[in-house]
Amino acid sequence: MQLIDGKLKAAEILEQVKAGVEGQVKADGARPGLTVVLVGEDPASQVYVRNKEKRAEEAGFNGQLIRLPSTTSESDLLAVIDKLNTDKSVHGILVQLPLPEQINEQAVIGAIAPEKDVDGFHEVNGGRLLNGDSRAMVPCTPLGCLHLIETVIPDLKGMHAVIIGRSNIVGKPLSMLLLQKSCTVTITHSKTRDLPNVCAGADILIAAVGVPELVKADWVKPGAVVIDVGINRVARDGKQVLVGDVDFDAVRDIASAITPVPGGVGPMTIACLLSNTLAASR
Ligand SMILES: Nc1nc(=O)c2c([nH]1)NC[C@@H]1CN(c3ccc(C(=O)N[C@@H](CCC(=O)O)C(=O)O)cc3)C=[N+]21
């Protein structure tokens, strides 16, 4: 079994992005800028946002974090986004999800200028991805998954990819990326009948449901490539640990290659975010 090292691949991408950022600064004197908007104090969000800031700084971006109280109204948040949309020093805008319940997420995402939507969540970018339009800003986690898959399978033509999870941020966009690479794509979800058996037909199995260690050994075809998008905090022996959606210890000897959690898809998400931001600044 080959361990797919997301940390290493992410570091490679970040080196390239860093060089691109410096090139961009020399070319037009302006440093690419990423603004992250964090509403409320969700502890997991705080960790992610801090990681993003760190990586952005290392890669030479102008990073800005806007913290707003959890009581912020939708119209106040929309006003902040309006300002960022017209600010020429801001090339990428990321509004950390989830948002507090008084705020409509789709309305907020739809208010971001599509060319600054480095998450790729705006409906214009979703539509472009669906159409295979190269102007699409592609969501970071699916893009990171694709890069990791391509490190072990350079030519994806005709491969059967099975995705567990149909979310707007992972399952659906990833299905479009893999279809574009001429995979045969199956999207499964909570109502799928005989899920283990469907998964066992996969050459490439991607788990993105948020159920700790759902995927067991007999769900995996021998030699399959397994990508674990899950990040679940669970208690084990009185300690908090991170586990994925795949039962790693059971599956590792059946798969030909597998991503770990942590150190797999997570670091790739951040690397792709910064690569999207560099592209936005161009
Ligand atoms: N608008 C928006 N865009 C996002 O991209 C977005 C978001 N909202 N909300 C939350 C999720 C989650 N997310 C992660 C990114 C990196 C790691 C990551 O680097 N994880 C490390 C471990 C981190 C740890 O130790 O907790 C790893 O897997 O190795 C995890 C999770 C981005 N998200």
Q: Using most ligand atoms within 8 A of CB, pick from 231, 261, 274 the residue to mutate for ligand 1.
A: 231
pTM here?
0.97
| pLDDT confidence of residue 189 | 98
Binding positions for NADP(+): 165-167, 231
Determine whether the shortest distance from the Cβ of 51 to ligand 1 is under 6 A.
Answer: yes
Structure confidence by residue, pLDDT tens digits, 39-88: 998 888 888 899 999 999 999 999 999 999 999 999 999 999 999 999 99
| pLDDT confidence of residue 172 | 98
For the chain, give the DSSP string: -EE--HHHHHHHHHHHHHHHHHHHHHHHS---EEEEEEES--HHHHHHHHHHHHHHHHTT-EEEEEEE-TT--HHHHHHHHHHHHH-TT--EEEE-SSPPTTS-HHHHHHHS-GGGBTT--SHHHHHHHHHT-TTPPPPHHHHHHHHHHHHH-S--TT-EEEEE---TTTHHHHHHHHHHTT-EEEEE-TT-TTHHHHHTT-SEEEE-S--TT-B-GGGS-TT-EEEE---EEEEETTEEEEE-SB-HHHHTTTSSEE--SSSSHHHHHHHHHHHHHHHHH-
Residue 52 bears catalytic tag: yes
| pLDDT confidence of residue 239 | 95
- Which domains does the chain possess? 29-113 (3.40.50.10860), 140-266 (3.40.50.720)
Residue 5 bears catalytic tag: no
Determine whether the shortest distance from the Cβ of 72 to ligand 1 is under 6 A.
Answer: no
| pLDDT confidence of residue 43 | 83
Determine whether the shortest distance from the Cβ of 95 to ligand 1 is under 6 A.
Answer: yes
| pLDDT confidence of residue 115 | 98
Ligand 1 nearest-atom number relative to CA 233: 26
Please report which confidence band the pLDDT of residue 21 belongs to, taking 50, 70 and 90 as the band edges: very high
Structure confidence by residue, pLDDT tens digits, 180-227: 999 999 999 999 999 999 999 999 999 999 999 999 999 999 999 999
- Residue 48 CA, ligand 1 centroid: distance in Å: 5
Structure confidence by residue, pLDDT tens digits, 74-123: 999 999 999 999 999 999 999 999 999 999 999 999 999 999 999 999 99
- Residue 55 CA, ligand 1 centroid: distance in Å: 12
| pLDDT confidence of residue 34 | 97
Interface predicted TM-score (ipTM): 0.96
